[in-house]
Amino acid sequence: MSELLGLKLLSILLVFGAGMLGGLIPWRAAGTRRSEAYLGWGNAFAGGVLLAAGLIHLLGDAAGGFADLWPKNDYPWAFTIAAGAFLVILGVERVLPSASRVPAGSAALGSDPESDTIVQAAEESDRYPYLLLLTLSIHSIIAGMAMGAQSS
């Protein structure tokens, strides 16, 4: 077996092992009383890693790309677009869901507060798959356009 093939197989096993470990940790923690805290920490860590990768690696390349595209324009378009994207994501995650909630004393609710809570939770949870579908669709379209715009 060549050295390169051995290195590739080792890399495959390491990625598979890391994926299995990343999947087993929440599965094992689901039965504990602190599972929500673990899930929150994991989501915060994953979000921080993606945010750092985007800001450190991609934003600098985007600023350089805008400078190459419009050499006479000194406005930081890449940073403005990134800030606007953060505001859009904040609006989608925080502002829109809170604006669409029915107040607790509303006439739309019945007389039983326990069943009203269950109904509200079911109605709110139905939105998240569609929001995820919309987000992934937009991401796929943008990624496809970026891949199509590459010259090599």
30-69 residue pLDDT tens: 777 777 787 788 888 888 898 888 888 888 899 999 999 9
Q: How far apart are CA 55 and CA 107, in angstroms?
A: 46
Those residues with Cβ within 8 angstroms of residue 25's Cβ, 6 or more apart along the chain or in another chain:
38, 42
Q: Are 78 and 65 in contact (CB under 8 A)?
A: yes
- Sign of the dihedral defined by the CA atoms of residues 144, 148, 149, 152, in that order: positive
pTM over 0.85: no
Which has more pLDDT, 49 or 128? Answer: 49
